[in-house]
C-alpha cells in the first residue's frame, strides 16, 4: 500500500462561495496540478480561502492544515486565472514554503479554455515566472474546454 499524500487547498476569496467542484473533479481524475498524484492516494485535509486581499488567512490556514498532516498546499487555479491574477501569489508561495516548510503547488484544476484565451490576448503569462506557475495546470485544449 502506498502512503497517502495529504494536501490542503487555498482558494481566492473572490471565489469564496465556490463549492470546489472543478478542484475535486480534477483531483478525482488526476488532471491539472493533481496529475502529479497518478498512482498515489490523496487526502484533502483542509480547504479554505485566502481571506481576501492581501491574503491574511494565508498566514494562519497552513498551520491548521499542517496539524492535520498536510504535506502539500495547492493554491487554487482561481488565483492564477482570475483577472487580475492574484498579485500576492508569489508571496504566498514563498511564505508557505519558507515559514511552514510545506511544498506549494500553484494550481488545482486545469486552466479553463475561456481563461486561457483571455490571458493569451492580454499577454498576462508571458514572463518566465508566470510560465512556471501555469505549467501544472496547462493542459491541452480538449481538457481545458471540459473545465469551461
Per-residue pLDDT tens digits for 18-35: 999 999 999 999 999 999
pTM tops 0.85: yes
CB 129 within 8 A of CB 89: no
Checking if the pLDDT of 138 tops 60, the result is yes
**Cα separation, 62 vs 50, whole angstroms:** 10
Domains of the chain: 5-146 (3.40.50)
Per-residue pLDDT tens digits for 44-85: 999 999 999 999 999 999 999 999 999 999 999 999 999 999
- Burial (CB < 10 A; 0-12, 13-18, 19+), residue 22, is buried
Going by the DSSP 8-state scheme, the letter that residue 34 receives in this structure is G
Q: Do you know the residue count of the chain?
A: 148
Amino acid at each position: 500500500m502506498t502512503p497517502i499524500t495529504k494536501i490542503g487547498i487555498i482558494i481566492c476569496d473572490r471565489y469564496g462561495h465556490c463549492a470546489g467542484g472543478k478542484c475535486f473533479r480534477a483531483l478525482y481524475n488526476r488532471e491539472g496540478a493533481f496529475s502529479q498524484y497518478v498512482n498515489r492516494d490523496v487526502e484533502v485535509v483542509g480547504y479554505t480561502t485566502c481571506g481576501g486581499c492581501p491574503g491574511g488567512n494565508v498566514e494562519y490556514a497552513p498551520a491548521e492544515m499542517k496539524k492535520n498532516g498536510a504535506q502539500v498546499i495547492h493554491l487554487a487555479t482561481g488565483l492564477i486565472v482570475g483577472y487580475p491574477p492574484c498579485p500576492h501569489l508569489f508571496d504566498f508561495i514563498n511564505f508557505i514554503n519558507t515559514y511552514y516548510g510545506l511544498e506549494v503547488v500553484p494550481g488545482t484544476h486545469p486552466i479553463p479554455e475561456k481563461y486561457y484565451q483571455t490571458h493569451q490576448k492580454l499577454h498576462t503569462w508571458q514572463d518566465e515566472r508566470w510560465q512556471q506557475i501555469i505549467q501544472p495546470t496547462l493542459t491541452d485544449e480538449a481538457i481545458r474546454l471540459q473545465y469551461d
